[in-house]
Structure 1
């Protein structure tokens, strides 16, 4: 049996009932549930949750017009922190929803990247260490045979709930891009 060691002052309060007046009336025995890995990853990129409607959030975003995106109606949107967001809809009859968030490392020179707890790390080993420390549930794998080309010539990836994360590096192991897809949308 373990013995509970309390300071003398605490014992005196218990013995005299002095702590009863300040004790809470109800105590919850159920701790708050931890965030799902997907929710934690999602919020580390930006406060806009996956599935946010573009119409509801576009006032706080800047449209990035690159690569003839206007013709295809597939432009990316940047928030005040520099995180890019991609919205998608299956048809013109349904609202565009946030499906991808990503960070272009070169746009964060001299600034910390909050996504996945990367901070100021930019070299592959440091970045992967930070990502694994961000949440031990992240099963990050770096396999040179599985490179999509979406984020760099080298790629590490992890499945997170219905989505996945890709972390890209150049040939010199320097971070290029971090991408979070909330789910398969096409």
Structure 2
């Protein structure tokens, strides 16, 4: 019986671990679908039953007819916004009680540089650009970074004045 040298074993282990990570990311080839699935299991651009997602967060009764979008939050804290019966937007606010985000592969990263590194690795096909506070139009001291998909959807990340992640969202289309 012949044993492999320690370096060969370490290389094989590293290859197995890295291929597993790459394989998990590559399971969904389309970047929009990959990003969508990273937020929640409810697919954007398709009819869905909001009540199946979770609880209504903006009032006791949902009344989209008056121009106010109803927001439904799942158990993971992701808010789902509909246009009629079509799921249009998914968003998650990041707070101290949010230890890890599956959205966009962010994980535990919270600083702007770390978050952008994670998102760019998760979506290498998408160009991510940023607007600094004052340009972003998101409020005092808030920077915005995002990118667009070929299907017309986009992602947006908001960062506070300390360059810490405030929120992440994905939009399937422009709601009016």
TM bucket (normalised to shorter chain) is 0.7 to 0.9
> Does the CA-based 8 Å contact 2:92-2:169 persist in structure 1?
yes
* Residues paired across the two proteins, number: 145
- The answer for the alignment partner of 1:59 in structure 2 is 52
The alpha carbon displacement at 1:146 in A equals: 4.6
- Tell me what 1:36 maps to: 30
Alpha-carbon offset, residue 49 of structure 1:
0.4
- Structure 2: gaps spanning 5 or more residues: 1-25
SS of residue in 2 equivalent to 1:121: coil
CA shift in 2, pair 1:69/1:124, >3 Å: farther
CA RMSD, 1 decimal = 2.6
Residue 131 of structure 2 corresponds to residue 154 of structure 1: no
- Report what 2:108 is aligned to: 120
| Structure-1-length-normalised TM-score | 0.69
Q: Deviations over 1:46-79 (max 9, x none)?
A: 110002334x35223111025x975655221111
* Kept after mapping to 2: 8 A contact 1:118/1:131: yes
> TM-score with structure 2 length normalisation?
0.72
SS at match of 1:87: strand
The Cα shift of 1:160 comes to 1.5
> Structure 1 regions of 5+ residues with no counterpart?
1-31, 90-95
